[in-house]
Structure 1
Amino acid sequence: MKSKFAFILPLFLLVTLLSCKTGQLPSTLSKGMYKVTILYPNGEGKTFDMDYYEQKHMPMVANFIGDNLKFYEIDKVISGRTPNDQPPHLAVGYFYVSNIPEYNQAIGANIDAIVSDFKNYTNIQPVVQISEIRQVVYQK
C-alpha cells in the first residue's frame, strides 16, 4: 500500500503542475495576429460596471466575431504610473483576431447592438485601437 501511495502522489503532483497555466499567455498568441484594444478613459463623472462588461458585453461581442476570435482579455485598471496616480482608463478590453477585414465585417454587421449596449455598463465613449502583433517573447 505504501509503494502505491509513493507512486501515485508524485504522479498527481506532476499532472497538477503541468496543467497549471496561471500567468502564461495563450499559446495561440503569435506574430501576424491582430489585437483590437478598447480603452475606456477615466474622468470626472465616468462610470463603468465591470461585472456587466465581463458577463454580458464582451461575451456578446465575442460571439459576433465568431471563429476569427482567438481569445479576449479584460483589464480592470487600478492605478496610473504610480499607485497614487488616478488611472488613465477605467477598463481595457482586448480581442485577438487573425483577420481584420473579417473582424470589421462582424462588428459592422452588429454595430447597433454593440453601441446600444454601452448604456448598460458605461457612460464612456470607448477609444478603439487596432494593432498588428510584431513580436511575442516568453520569459521564464
Structure 2
Amino acid sequence: MAVSLQVIYPVADGSTFDFDYYLSTHFDLVGEHMGPHIASTVVTKGVAGGPDTPAGYHAIATITFADQNAFKAAMAASGPVMADVPNFTNVKPDVLIGEVVA
C-alpha cells in the first residue's frame, strides 16, 4: 500500500517562511537525498482558510511513496533535508504519515 508523508507548516504569531528558498534550495535537497524513493510530490501554499479568513498554514508538502519500504529508505536518507528546515522557517512543522486510501 502507498504511504504518504505530509509536512505541515502552521502560521503562528511571528512565524516566517521563505518560499523562494523552500522551492529552490530545500526541494533540491529533497530530490537529491530522498528522490529515488519518492513516487510523487505536491506542495500547497496557503492563501486562505476560507472567505475572508487568513490561511492557517504557510504550506503543506505531500510526498507519496510506493510502499513502506520506499518510505523507510527515504526517511533513512532524510538527515540533510531535516537539518535544512531552520534555513527557511522558524516554524516547527507538524507531520502526518499515512496510508494512501484513495
TM-score (norm 2): 0.86
- Secondary structure of 1:85's counterpart equals coil
Out of 69, 83, 94, the residue aligned to residue 116 of structure 1 is 83
Tell me the equivalent position of 2:92: 125
Q: Which runs of 4+ in 1 moved over 6 A?
A: none
The answer as to whether partners of 1:73 and 1:95 remain within 8 angstroms in 2 is: yes
Give the number of the structure with larger relative contact order, counting CA–CA contacts within 8 Å between residues 6 or more apart. Answer: 2
Identity level (%): 25
Q: Which has the larger share of strand? A: 2
Report the aligned-residue RMSD. Answer: 1.6
Are residue 59 (structure 1) and residue 57 (structure 2) matched? no
TM-score when scaled to structure 1? Answer: 0.65
Structure 2 residue ranges without an equivalent (≥5) = none
Alignment map for 1:1-140 (pairs within 5 Å): 32-80=1-49, 82-111=50-79, 113-135=80-102
C-alpha contact 2:33 2:81 (8 A) present in aligned 1: no
Runs of 5+ in structure 1 lacking a partner?
A: 1-31, 136-140
- Partner residue, 1:20: none
Whether the aligned pair in 2 keeps the contact of 1:65 and 1:103 (CA below 8 Å) is no
If you compute each CA radius of gyration, which structure gives the higher value, 1 or 2?
Answer: 1
Aligned residues: 102
